[in-house]
Chains A and B, each alone.
Chain A
Amino acid sequence: MKQALWISSAALLAAAFMIHQPALAQQPAAGKAKSAQSPASRPLPPTLTPQTYPAAQVKTGEQKFAGQCGFCHGRDAAGGETGPDLTRSELVASDTRGDKLIPLIKAGRPEEGMPGFKSLSPADLNAMVAFIHAQKTKFEGVAGDRRSVDPSDLATGNAEAGQRYFNGAGKCSTCHSPTGDLAGVGTRFKGLALLQRLLYPSGRPAPARPKATVTLANGQIVTGPVSSQDEFIIVIGETPETRQTFQKSAVKFVVDDPITAHFDQLAKYTDADMHNIFAYLDTLK
Chain B
Amino acid sequence: MSRKYFLSLGLAATLSAQSIEPSELVNPGKDSWLTYHGDYSGRRSTSLSAITPDNVGNLKQAWRFQTGQTQSIKATPIVVDGVIFLTTPDNIWAIDARTAKELWHYTYKKNNAFHIGHRGAAFYKDTVYLTTPDCHLIAFNAKDGKVKWDVVIADSAKGYWSTNAPLIVGNHVMVGVSGDFDNVAGQLKSVDADTGKTQWIFYSTPPPGATEPKSGGATGGQMWTTGTYDPALNLVFVGTGNPTPVLNGAARPGNNPWTCSIVAINPDTGKLAWGFQASPHDTHDWDANEVPVLVDANFNGQPRKMLMQASRNGYFFVLDRTNGKNLLTTPFAAVNWAKGIDSEGRPIPNPAKEPAKDGVLVAPNESGATNFRPPSFDPTTGLFIVSAQDGYGTYFFKPEHGAYGWAGADYGVAGKSSIRAIDYKTGKIVWDHPIGEGGGTAGVMTTTSGITFSGDNATNVIAFRTSDGATLWHDSIGRVNNGPISYELDGKQYIVVGGGSSLYAYTLP
Contact = CB atoms under 8 A, between A and B. Distances in A.
Contacts of A2: 249, 253-254, 281, 351
Contacts, number: 142
A195 B409 CA distance: 14
A68 B115 contact: yes
Interface stretch (A46-54, A91-99, A144-152, A166-174): A144-152
Interface string B438-459: 0000000000000000001111
B282 interface: no
B149 interface: no
A180 interface: no
Contacts of B367: 82
B411 A196 contact: yes
A153 B414 contact: no
Contacts of A271: 352, 356, 359-361
Given A3-B253, A146-B407, A199 B356 contact: no
B99 to A, nearest CB: 27
A126 B336 CA distance: 45
A70 interface: yes
Given A80-B181, A271-B352, A146 B406 contact: yes
Contacts of B181: 70, 74-75, 80
A149 B400 CA distance: 10
Report, as a range, how many residues of chain B touch the other chain: 35 or more
Interface stretch (B10-18, B34-42, B122-130, B390-398): B390-398
Contacts of B334: 267
Contacts of A68: 115
Given A5-B351, A115-B70, A147 B406 contact: yes
A213 interface: no
Nearest to A84: B411
A266 B351 contact: no
Given A81-B366, A147-B408, A275-B358, A6 B249 contact: yes
B361 A17 contact: no
B416 interface: yes
B460 A199 contact: no
Contacts of B408: 147
Contacts of A116: 70
B116 interface: yes
Contact of A71 (B114, B356, B358, B460): B114
Contacts of B412: 82
B180 interface: yes
A200 B413 contact: yes
Interface string B357-369: 1111101001100
A144 B397 CA distance: 12
Nearest to A67: B112
B407 A231 contact: no
Given A3-B253, A17-B357, A67 B113 contact: yes
Interface stretch (A7-15, A26-34, A219-227): A7-15
B457 to A, nearest CB: 8
Contacts of A119: 70
Kindly state the interface size class of chain A when it binds its partner: 35 or more
Interface in B341-356: 351-352, 354, 356
**Of residues A16, A115, A118, A263, which shows the largest number of chain B Cβ atoms within 10 Å of its Cβ?**
A263
Contact of A66 (B112, B414, B476): B112
A199 B407 contact: no
Given A6-B351, A202-B414, A230-B456, A149 B250 contact: no
A80 B366 CA distance: 12
A263 B414 contact: yes
Given A2-B351, A147-B406, A153 B413 contact: no
B16 to A, nearest CB: 39
B436 interface: yes
A16 B253 contact: no
A118 B69 CA distance: 10
Nearest to A259: B414
Given A13-B358, A66-B113, A148-B400, A118 B70 contact: yes
A115 B281 CA distance: 34
Contact of B358 (A16, A196, A230, A262): A16
Given A144-B400, A147-B408, A262-B414, A66 B114 contact: yes
Nearest to A275: B358
Interface of B: 70-72, 111-116, 133, 180-181, 249-250, 253-254, 281, 285, 334, 336, 351-352, 354, 356-361, 363, 366-367, 392, 394, 396, 398-402, 406-409, 411-414, 416, 434-436, 456-460, 462, 471, 474, 476
- Rank and list the top 6 A-B pairs by shortest CB-CB distance, nearest first: A230-B458, A144-B400, A67-B112, A200-B414, A63-B112, A156-B358
20 contacts: A2-B253, A2-B281, A10-B250, A13-B358, A67-B112, A68-B115, A74-B406, A80-B181, A117-B70, A146-B406, A147-B409, A153-B358, A156-B358, A196-B394, A199-B392, A231-B458, A263-B414, A266-B361, A271-B352, A271-B359
Interface of A: 2-3, 5-7, 9-10, 13, 16-17, 40, 63-64, 66-68, 70-72, 74-75, 79-82, 115-119, 144-149, 153-156, 192, 195-196, 199-200, 202, 228, 230-232, 262-263, 266-267, 269, 271, 274-275
Given A40-B409, A271-B352, 20 more contacts: A2-B281, A3-B250, A10-B357, A13-B398, A17-B357, A71-B115, A80-B406, A118-B70, A148-B400, A154-B358, A154-B359, A195-B394, A199-B413, A200-B392, A202-B414, A230-B459, A231-B435, A231-B458, A266-B392, A266-B413
